[in-house]
Each structure stands twice: as structure tokens, then as C-alpha cells.
Amino acid sequence: MKYKIDVVRIRENSIQLNGWVIGKTPESKPAFAVLDEDHKKIKIKYVSTKRDDVSQIYYKKICDGDLGFDIQFPYERGRSYWLLIRCDGHVRKIRFNEELIARRSSVAYKRMEKIRDLMNMETVHVALEFWQKHGLKALFLKSKHKLQGIDNDYEYAEWYDLTKPSEGELASQRAQDTSGWPLLSLVMPVYKAPEGFLRVMLDSILAQTYPNWELCMADGSPKGETSAKLVREYMDRDKRIRYQALEKNEGISGNTNAAIALAAGDYIVLADQDDAMPEHALYEIAEAIRKHSDCDVIYSDEDKMDMDGGALFDPHFKPDFNPDLLCSVNYICHQFAVKRELLERVGGFRKEYDGAQDYDLIFRCTEAARGIYHIPKVLYHWRCHQGSTASNPQSKLYAFEAGSRAVMDHYRRMGIEAEKVEKGVDYGIYHTTFRIQGEPLVSVIIPNKDHAADLDLCVRTILTKCTYRNLEFIVVENNSTEPGTFDYYEKLQKEFPQVRVVRWEKEFNFSAINNFGVRYAQGEYLLFMNNDIEPIAENFIEEMLGFAQRDDVGAVGARLLYQDDTIQHAGVVVGFGGIAGHTFIGLHEAENSYFHRAMCAQDYSAVTAACMMSRRSVFEAAGGFSEDLAVAFNDIDYCMKVRALGKLVVYAPYAKLYHYESKSRGLEDTPEKVARFNREVAKFAKKWPDILRDGDPFYNPNLTLRKSNFALRDLLKEKVGEPYPMPEEIRRLMEEA
């Protein structure tokens, strides 16, 4: 027998327990009893629950029987109680009292629980598969990161409790004069709704601090299985609820459209029958609409809640509108609100996209919206199993295929030529291959000082193993001192006529050297590259060029790995480390990053010029690299100038290369280097103070700037919801400059 108690709750004068029990076979039936201190049986309320996640892990299939339990029994403070579990001839006896329950709530206990949770057959199976696919070193690194994650500053549930609005703030929202504020129409399709789940959602709506709403429900359930009786109970309590029992089930799209047809509000807000919303959700949406007059689309952050609604987990803190991330995954999802006039103009849900109907709608709405506003707060709780990693990809296939068509149709409407949209790192995540227009000349610009072997590996691999052929190389010789370097240049140019070596004879200045190289380039596209790069993906140029050819894109970066297959670059967040830093540094390429972000094409504020492509016309319009930034932040500054032109900076994860830079390279280890670095920090900060003050729009103010792994923000140091103040050291350097 195996068992686990996931949740223990004291509610008034009762204790509630949630968990699961399994025996040797799925047919094993557990029995439960509760004893008091006098060993007398206590009457309990017992409800069995489905636990498909447990079933998949231990039995490798979905079982008909219920493996979970929900037990409630009377509780007198100061006394102890024992839960007895019998299964397959075995008995387990678990004690509960206030001291033990308080201990279960401690941080140390929760960390131990996390470690115990890892010690199961699922972990063994996942570890073996990972080892076989990626090797022992990768497994060791993943295990190390998993254990480090156990020691994070906060459990999310604790973090959420500390950051949610206080009772005083909620009372202030309720007292606000909202006359003249927008009417929000929540639309909810209903189909065979579990009564308990639907009650939770309805109660969360009635508890909203914002009063100007209506709830429009369309029920496609068969006769005799509708929620009419339950809904009438709520309609008697609140006249803002509107309900229609449909004559037949029209599917998720048809049922939602029927709910929309009942709506009279200024904005449509999507809701599902078995989820929940925090009390301030609608107030935040209404306030965003009032503050942003051109706001046609609003979305928020979200999290998940377990099946009994008692535990929150897996928060998704999202960036501001990120069109390329949206083409990789439906990251917007919940909470989503759209101006009714816009929704009527683009059309409602389309049945042919069922399974990804919201994805298709979000594309059409964001394409036509005047303004898209992101509220960086959790305003939606999405119900699902906690800790379940087992999945049946085939069951998701129809939704994935519908999503793929939604992405492709978006490209067609936007005039973007894509060849195919296929499965990315997982179902629901997409990898787009764009059609290359013609075969434009790409000029690869590589500064070099000695290091002939590194340069040879870089150039030779691209020319002999990579698939794009219309290339030229401009090697900018930068004060080499080894005689063999110049002999190598002669041999290289004789062997490969596409290579040209030009000589820079002034002091080192990365910006000036690259600008100098561009003068000799003939290509329509410029690919800036360090000399210690080796391609892994043979089509990395096509992957980058597909983005660079789009009119809305100004710069494209690649996924760079260290020699040990850990991430060196997967995009840049402005603010990391005070100024800017790479995301997911040190994560093994086979590990899951935050919502798979390392493997999603997306827009960032910047990418590294260790491998960066830009159209010549964009480069010239941006003024090239800023030569007053000789060493540090020149590539970040260039990307900021590109964005100031209204162009996107895209991270292309399938353009994969090694960057053999040492992990300690670039340390400022002399007084002269430190002084120069500080000057360049100050120059960058003076040029771009807004993003350092307000935060990177492609990150999230709920996430920390102290780490590169998108961990929760440290509540002891900063107040969540406000931008990080500019570090005092940087402010001082700016003043000195």
C-alpha cells in the first residue's frame, strides 16, 4: 500500500484531509476510519475522488476506480486524532493535532515534503528516460537544479498570500464610486458542469469587488443534465446573472457564442465553468480600461489550483504583449477580456478550431486591437491536477492540430510567409519555419585577434556543413601578434574565396570594429558573430533569416550553449544584474525552462551580438553600434535602438550554436578595466533610464532580477507590483558621468 496526504486543513471545528491511496492493483479498495484520543470511532464525511495523475504514475493507465479521498471530521482543539487507512491487508495510522498540523505548514516541512515527493516511481521512470536520452552529466545537472529549486525563497502559496490585496484594499475597491465605469460581461459556456466546481466559480463571481458586471451562461447539456436548477438558485440571489439552456450542444465554440449573444457589456470577459477568480479580478480589468482609453484587449497573469480548490501552484507570470511568443504558445490564455465592438468586428469563436478556439480568437483580436494591455497580477485560477506530469499526447493531438492551423492562419492574415508550423518541445508549443524570399547575400562579420584555430572551426563549419550557401565572410583583423595568424589568413582566403580579411589598426573597440567590418560587407543581411562560435543546427542561418526578412523585425539572436551543453544565451532581460543579463544561464539544454521559454521563439528587449542578424537597412537606420560603448552593453544598446525604430528583437531558439566563451571570461580584473566598465554602465543607464526604472516589458515585475531562472521576486527586498528601483551604484555612476 502507498498513500499520500496532500492537504490538511482546519476549518472552524473540523479537519479536512485530501490525498490518495493505492494497493497492489487498481481494484484494491481502501477503507478509512478516524479515532479520537479515547480510541473511539468518529463519524466522518468521506468522498472518493479521481486521481488520474496517480493512476498514470503507478499503474501506467487511467483506471475506472477512484484513488483519491476527501475526508472531513469534527475536531476539538487541543486533542489528537488518528486516521486509519486499510488496504490489501495493511494498516497505516496517522496522527493529527494542532502541533503536527502547524509543523506541516512550516517551510522546513514543505521542503522535506518536496524531497519526499521526488522519491517515487514517476521520478525513477523520468530520470531513466532522461539519462538514456541525454547522458549522466545532464541528469546530474537537472537533479542539482531540481534540488536547488526546493530551497527557493518562497513557496508560491505563501508568496501569493503575502502579495494578494489586503481586506482593507478590497473594502476600498468595494467602496469606490464606479458609476460610468464599463459594464463587463462574463461569458461562460456550460456543459454537464460538476455542481461543486460550478458553485466555486459562481461564488467567486458574486464575491467580486467590482459591481458593474453581468454573467451570461449558455448551457449545452442534454435535457435532465443541465445546471438550470443550480443557476436559478443563484439568479434568485443576483439579478446580474443571465442563463439560457440551449436546445442542443453546439460544442465549446457554439456554446460560447450563444453566451456572447446574451451579453450587453462594453467588454467581454471569458470564463470557464470549473475555475475561479480572485475577488479583485474584475476591478483590475475595469481600472485598466479606464486608465488606457485605447485598450481593446486585456490579459492577466494566472495560476493553477488543485482539484479541491484548496492549493494554488504553478503561477504563469507573463510578459507584455509578445507577438512571436504568442505564435509559439498561447501564453495569453486567462484572464482575457476584449472590447465587444472589436469582438463583433472580428467575429466570435469558430467551430473548426475547437480545441484551440480561444487561441484562434486571441490572434484575431490582437491583430485588430488598437491597444493590448497586460495586467501583471494573477487574476485567474485554473483548476487542474497538481504534480501530474503524465500525459497522453494522442489525446491532445486534435487541439494541437487546431492550434497549428490557428498560427498558420494568423501568418496569412498578417502577410507573413510561413512554410509550416509543427510541434515544438511539447504539444501546444509550436515551431514555425518561414519561407526564405529568394537567396539574399548574408555577410558574416567576425572580429579576430589571433585564435586562428577557433576562427577556422567557426568559418569552416559554416561553409562545409551548414545549408545556407549565399554567404560572404568579413574577418576584421584586430591587432594580432602571432605570426602564424597572418599565414592562416592567407590560406583561408585562398581556400574559401567567400572570405575577406580586413585590418583594423586602432585600439580595441568592439562597436567600432564591427562598424568598420560593415563598410566592407556587400550583403543585404549582416550576421555579427564571435570567432569562438561553432554551429550545431546546420540550418541556423535559415532559422535566423526567416525572422530577419520580416518588416517588423530588426534584430535576431540565437540560442548559444557552452561546451557542456548548458545555456549561455537564450535572450536578454534588461535589469538582470543591475543593467542586463542573459536568461537561463547554466540550465542544461534538455531541462525544462520557465514555461518552456528557452525553447520558444519570442521577442526580447535584446539579444547578444555573439551571434546576431540584422538587415543592413535597419542597421543603418539605427546608426550601427554606438562607439562610445567600446566593450560592454554595445549589443544591448544596439537592440534598444532597433526597438526605438519600432522593430522587434527576436530570439530564435532553433538557431543553435556552441559559444566556447569561458564562463569566467570578461571579468573586469584590473583597475583600468573596472573604471572603463563603470563608465559604460553609466552611459547605458543615462541613454535608457526608462526601461531600467519601469522594468523590461518582456519580463514580469513579479519575477526576480537577482537570478536568471525567472524565480519569484524576493518580498524581503522589494514590494511586488512596483518596478525595481535603480541600483544605488548605477545611480551614483550616472551622476558622476
Name the pairing type of β-strands 442-448 and 525-529.
parallel
Give the per-residue pLDDT at 725.
61
Residue 605 has pLDDT above 60, yes or no: yes
Q: Is 679 helix (H, G, I), strand (E, B) or coil?
A: helix
DSSP-assigned letter for residue 670: S
Amino acid at 267: Y
Residue 460 has pLDDT above 90, yes or no: yes
576's CB contacts (< 8 A; 6+ apart) are 582, 583, 705, 708
Rounded to a whole number, what is the largest CA-CA distance in the chain?
A: 94
Exposure class string for 490-527: b at 16+ Cβ within 10 A, else e: eebeeebebbbbeebeeeebbbbbbbbbbeebebbbbb
Print the SS3 string covering 549-599: CCCCEEEEEEEEECCCCEEEECCEEECHHHCEEECCCCCECCCCCHHHHHH
Give the per-residue pLDDT at 734.
65
Query: Which of 364-368, 508-512, 682-686 shows the lowest mean pLDDT across its residues?
Result: 682-686
Distance of CA 265 to CAs 268, 286, 300, 336, 345, Å?
A: 7, 12, 20, 15, 15
pLDDT-derived band of residue 107, with 50, 70 and 90 as boundaries? very low
Amino acid at 457: L
Instruction: Write 392-399 long-range contacts (CB < 8 A, 24+).
Output: 393/427, 396/427, 396/428, 397/427, 398/355, 399/355, 399/356, 399/427, 399/428
Selected residue with higher pLDDT from 636 and 37: 636
pTM: predicted TM-score of the whole model, two decimal places? 0.81
Residue 628 has pLDDT above 80, yes or no: yes
Mean pLDDT (whole number) for 578-590: 89
Mean pLDDT (whole number) for 59-88: 83
574's CB contacts (< 8 A; 6+ apart) are 580, 605, 606, 636, 640, 688, 691, 692, 696, 699
Instruction: Report the distance separating Cα 598 and Cα 608, nearest Å.
Output: 15
Torsional sign, CA 455, 457, 458, 459: positive
Give the per-residue pLDDT at 666.
45
Give the per-residue pLDDT at 471.
97
Q: Are 593 and 715 in contact (CB under 8 A)?
A: no
Which residues partner with 269 through β-bridges?
Answer: 186, 337
Provide the CA 314 distance to its chain's centre, in angstroms. 10
| pLDDT digits 0-9 by tens, 525-565 | 999 999 999 999 999 999 999 999 999 999 999 999 999 89
Residue 399: enclosing H or E segment and its boundaries?
helix 393-414
Give the per-residue pLDDT at 387.
41
Give the per-residue pLDDT at 714.
78
pLDDT, the chain, mean: 87
| pLDDT digits 0-9 by tens, 417-436 | 999 999 998 888 999 999 99
Selected residue with higher pLDDT from 156 and 485: 485
| pLDDT digits 0-9 by tens, 274-333 | 999 999 999 999 999 999 989 999 999 999 988 777 788 889 999 999 999 999 999 999
Residue 459 has pLDDT above 90, yes or no: yes
Query: Which of 139-153, 453-467, 626-640, 654-668 shows the lowest mean pLDDT across its residues?
Result: 139-153
Give the per-residue pLDDT at 675.
76
What one-character-per-residue DSSP string does 233-296 give?
Answer: HHHHH-TTEEEEE-SS--HHHHHHHHHHHT--SSEEEE--TT-B--TTHHHHHHHHHHH-TTEE
Give the per-residue pLDDT at 150.
42
Query: Which of 293-307, 404-418, 706-720 shows the lowest mean pLDDT across its residues?
Result: 706-720
Which residues partner with 219 through β-bridges?
Answer: 190, 245
Give the per-residue pLDDT at 412.
97
Give the per-residue pLDDT at 583.
95
Query: Which of 35-49, 282-296, 629-643 shows the lowest mean pLDDT across its residues?
Result: 35-49
Residue 386 has pLDDT above 50, yes or no: no
Mean pLDDT (whole number) for 687-693: 90
Helix, strand, coil shares of the chain, percent, nearest 5, are 35, 25, 35
Give the per-residue pLDDT at 390.
34
Residue 362 has pLDDT above 90, yes or no: yes
What one-character-per-residue DSSP string does 600-634 give?
Answer: S-EE-SB--TTEEEEEHHHHHHHTSS-TT-SSSSH
| pLDDT digits 0-9 by tens, 696-707 | 999 999 999 888
Mean pLDDT (whole number) for 333-342: 96
Percentage of residues in the chain having pLDDT higher than 70: 85
Query: Which of 28-42, 124-138, 216-230 shows the lowest mean pLDDT across its residues?
Result: 124-138
Residue 102: enclosing H or E segment and its boundaries?
helix 98-104
